[in-house]
Amino acid sequence: MLIDTHAHLDFDRFDKDREEVIQAAYESGVERVINIGADMDSSRNSVKLAKEYDFIWATVGVHPHYAQKFTEQDYKELKELASYDKVVAIGEVGLDYYYDNSPRQKQQDVFKKLLGLANGFDLPVAIHSREAKEDTLDILKEEGKGLEGVMHCYAYDLATAKEVIDLGFYLAFGGVITFNNASQLRDVVREVPLDRVLIETDAPYLTPAPNRGKRNEPKFVKDVAKKIAEVKNLDLEEVAKITTENAKSLFNLK
């Protein structure tokens, strides 16, 4: 059994066949799906999905792309959403200096505020960080003391990976590790301890080989697990067992 720790099943790309996608995930051996809130609408819809399906759990948060629109009223609503018992993390939150869709200072301010929300609820955090490793680590060290969490779609080098692990965080790997041009990332996968690794799809994005070009779905998380097993020279069963235990531990999945 596998756990997809980062999917966006509430996104409109699943509107026509969401039920079939969810059923296909379950039938393929996906034991749980963590559906990730990326803005206020998707946070609400993430909680709604978690209420509808026993094996879907939710996070609530605001992606850095939407930090500029974040208001105090939104913060109050996130506090209400976070109190639901199937909300297992705050996220995704963080910094994205690749697109800079929101001013960097605003991204940092919202990131810090939502780390505080996680602290208040004693929840882990799901971190988005792109082209922003120094500021991400600095903020986690200053504002995230005592927090646990995961660096979603990990894409930095091995030295940074070790820093993230030293902070008590997990590294989540998705379809990118199957791409032909991702040899450096596979080197990171090879070197980091499996007991700090999670697997994810980021569905509907970043579909792993051999299904690149298709819409990503939670059922494809098995292809990520297979690649990790190949890179680390382990049995798929061991990768499935340990990454599932890691996800259950971090997200307190009962």
In order of their start, the domains of the chain are: 2-251 (3.20.20.140)
Phi, psi of 99 (to 5 degrees): -95, -30
User: What DSSP state is assigned to residue 203?
Assistant: B
Burial (Cβ within 10 Å: 0-12, 13-18, ≥19) of residue 86 = middle
Claim: this prediction has a pTM higher than 0.75? yes
- pLDDT at residue 254 in the model: 76
**183, two tokens:** 């040899």
Phi, psi of 184 (to 5 degrees): -65, -40
**Residues of the chain predicted below pLDDT 70:** none
Phi, psi of 213 (to 5 degrees): 100, -20
- pLDDT at residue 147 in the model: 97
- Which segments of the chain are extended strands (E)? 2-7, 30-35, 56-60, 87-96, 125-130, 149-151, 169-173, 197-199
- CB of 193 closer than 8 Å to CB of 243: no
- CB of 201 closer than 8 Å to CB of 7: yes
Strand partners, 171: 151, 197
Distances (CA, A) of 132 to 152, 162, 200: 13, 16, 21
Which residues touch 240 (CB under 8 Å, ≥6 apart)?
1, 2, 225
